[in-house]
Chains A and B, each alone.
Chain A
Amino acid sequence: MEWTKQIGRYFLVMLLQVLLFDQLQLLGVCHPYIYILCLLMMPITLPHSADMIIGAVVGLIMDIFCNSLGVHTASCIFIMFIRPYLIGAIVNDKDRLNEQITLRTLGMEALLKYTVILVLAHHLMVFLLAAWSWSHIGFVLMETIVSSLITISIIIGYNTLRYR
C-alpha cells in the first residue's frame, strides 16, 4: 500500500515537471527540477544499491524528456548515493526513519539541511554537466541558485502542507 502511494506520487510529480515546470522559462535562469522531491522523500528502508538504481531510472526518464542523455541520470545516482550518509550525519536516532522522510519524521531543521544540501548538489551537477565547460561558470552558478531556491521552497512547502 505504502509503495503504490509512492509510485503514484512519482507519476504525478513527473507529469507536473514535464507539463508545467519544464514549460516555464522565467528570466532564462530558472529551471527548477521538482521531480527530485520523490527521490528525497523515499524511505531509506531499501538497500542502498536499489536506491541508486531507482535514481538512475528516474533520471533517465527525465533525460529523455530533456534531450540531455546522461545528465539527470548521473546527478540522480549521485544524490541517491550520498543520501544515507547525509541522513546519518544529521539524524541521531535513525529508528524513527522507518517511514518516508517528511517534516513529521525529521523535524524542520533537519529537513531543511537535508533538502538544501541534496537539491543544491543535484542542480549544480545538472547545470554543470549540461554546460560542459567552465567558461559559463557564472551563468551556471546563477542558474543553480535561482532554480534551487524554487525547488527547495516547493519541497518544504509540500511538506508543511501535507505532513505538519
Chain B
Amino acid sequence: MQNLLKILLRYSNFLVFILLEVAAFLLFSYNNAYPRSSILSTANSIVAWQNEQIAEIKNYFRLRSVNEELAAENAALRNQIYSMDSATNREAIHYESAKVVQMTTDQLHNYLTINRGSVDGIQRGQGIRNAEGVVGIVRTVGKNYSVVLPIINTHTNLSCRFTKNDYIGTLQWDGKDCRFAQLADVAAHMVVNPGDTIVTSGLSPVFPEGIPVGIVESSVLKEGESYHRIRVRLHTNFKRLKYVEVVQNANQKELEELENGMD
C-alpha cells in the first residue's frame, strides 16, 4: 500500500496530465457527438455579444456593399411574393430575417452565428438562406443567438437536384475553397454539362423545393467509376455574408415525426 502511494506521488504530475487530457477529450467528443448542446459555444450570450460588437465595427467599412446587397435582396423578396406558387404555400413557409454576427470561411469546419435564437422561434434543423441561395442549417440554438452549419462545412450534406431533369444528388464540401462545393451520387449515365443549374430538392423539410444552390463548373467522369465528380460554383458568396433568412416550416416537426416513425 505504501509502495503504491509512493508510486502515485512520484508520478502525480503525469497522472494530472492524463486526467486533464481525458477531460479535454471528453469535452471534444461530446461536442462532436452531441452538437445540439448549447453549453460553451458562440450561441452563449457573452461570446456572441462580443462577436456582434466586432461585426458592428466591421460594418462601417462595408456600408456601400451592404446597401447594394439590401437593394438586391429587396428585389428578390418582391419577386418571391409574386412567384409564390401553391406548392410552397401548402408547406406553410415563414421567413425570419437574421444578421450574421460571426463567421469563418477558411477552415474545414466552418460555422456562423446569427442573432436569432429560441426567443425568436428558431429551432435546430431549420434551413438558412439568403437572397443569393442556400446558406446552411441551424445546428445549435441559444436564447438569443444560434450557430449555423453552413454548406461550406465538411460535415454538411444537402440533397439537391438538377433543374433540367430533376435528377437528385448530394451536395458536399471538400474543405478547400468556399466558392465551390461538390455534388456526389450522380450516376455515370446522366449527362452533366457545365452551366447546369442546381437547386434544393425539397425532399427534406429543411428547405422548400427550388432554392438556388449553384451551377455546375466542371464535371469529370474517370474511367471505371460509376459516379461523376462534379464541381459546383455556389451562388452564395460566403465571404460577404451579412443578412440571411431562416426558413421556418410550420409542418417540419410533423414531417420529421412521420419520417422517424417509419423506422
Residues of A within 8 A of B (CB): 18-19, 23, 25, 27-29, 31, 48-49, 52-53, 56, 59-60, 63-65, 67-71, 73-74, 77-78, 81, 129-132, 136, 139
Q: How far is the CA of A56 from the CA of B17 in the complex (A)?
A: 10
Which of chain B's residues have a CB closer than 8 A to the CB of A18? Answer: 50
Q: How far is the CA of A67 from the CA of B48 in the complex (A)?
A: 11
Task: Please determine whether A56 and B13 come into contact, CB atoms closer than 8 angstroms.
Answer: no
Q: List 25 A-B contacts (CB under 8 A).
A: A18-B50, A28-B106, A28-B177, A48-B13, A49-B17, A56-B23, A59-B24, A60-B40, A64-B40, A64-B42, A64-B44, A65-B42, A65-B47, A67-B147, A68-B31, A69-B31, A71-B28, A73-B24, A74-B24, A74-B25, A77-B17, A81-B17, A130-B108, A132-B32, A136-B175
Q: What's the minimum C-beta distance from A129 to chain B, rounded to whole angstroms? A: 7
Question: Within the assembled complex, what's the spacing in Å between the Cα atoms of A70 and B29?
Answer: 8
- B interface majority secondary structure: helix
Does chain A have a CB within 8 A of B251?
Answer: no
Partner of A67, one of B54, B58, B111: B111
What residues of B have a CB within 8 angstroms of the CB of A59 in the complex? 24
Question: A124 → chain B, closest Cβ, in Å?
Answer: 15
Q: Is B41 part of the binding interface, using a Cβ–Cβ cutoff of 8 Å?
A: yes
- A69 contact from B13, B20, B28, B58, Cβ within 8 A: B28
- Which one of A49, A64, A65, A131 lies within 8 Å of B12 (CB-CB)? A49
Distance between Cα atoms of A93 and B16 in the complex (Å): 27
User: For the complex, what is the distance from the CA of A63 to the CA of B42, rounded to whole Å?
Assistant: 10
Select one of A31, A49, A67 contacting B16, CB under 8 A. Answer: A49
Q: Kindly state the separation between the CA atoms of A52 and B20 in the bound complex, as whole angstroms.
A: 8
Residue ID in chain B nearest A56 by CB atoms: B20
Are B27 and A69 touching (Cβ within 8 A)? yes
B152 to chain A, nearest CB (A): 11
A79 vs B220: C-alpha distance when bound (angstroms): 45
B175 touches A63 (CB 8 A): no
Q: In the complex, which of the residues A23, A53, A64, A70 has the most CB atoms of chain B within 10 Å of its own CB atom?
A: A70
Q: Is B248 an interface residue (CB 8 A)?
A: no
Q: B105 in the interface, Cβ–Cβ < 8 Å?
A: yes
A interface footprint on B18-41 (CB within 8 Å = 1, 0 otherwise):
001101111111111000000011
Check: B235 CB closer than 8 A to any chain A CB. Answer: no
Which residues of chain A are within 8 angstroms of B40 by Cβ–Cβ distance? 60, 63-64, 69
Nearest 8 Cβ contacts at the A-B interface? A70-B28, A69-B31, A28-B106, A74-B24, A70-B27, A49-B16, A73-B24, A48-B13
Least Cβ–Cβ distance between A40 and chain B, in angstroms: 18
Q: How far does the Cβ of A56 sit from chain B's closest Cβ, in whole Å? A: 5
Q: How far is the CB of A97 from chain B (nearest CB, A)?
A: 18
> Would you call B104 an interface residue if the criterion is a C-beta within 8 Å of the partner chain's C-beta atoms?
yes
Q: Indicate if the CB atoms of B104 and A69 lie closer than 8 Å.
A: no
How many angstroms from the CA of A131 to the CA of B12 in the assembled complex?
Answer: 32
Q: Measured between alpha carbons, how far is A27 from B105 in the docked complex, in Å?
A: 11
User: Do A23 and B24 touch across chains, with their CB atoms under 8 A apart?
Assistant: no
Residues of B within 8 A of A139 (CB): 108, 175-176
Whether the Cβ atoms of B21 and A78 lie closer than 8 Å is yes
| A105, B42: Cα distance in complex, Å | 39
Q: Are B27 and A64 in contact (CB under 8 A)?
A: no
Contact A70 B16 (CB under 8 A): no
- Given A65-B42, A65-B47: 14 more A-B contacts, CB < 8 Å: A18-B50, A25-B104, A31-B107, A52-B13, A56-B20, A59-B24, A64-B42, A64-B47, A70-B25, A74-B21, A74-B28, A77-B24, A130-B107, A136-B175
Partner of B21, one of A25, A63, A77, A130: A77
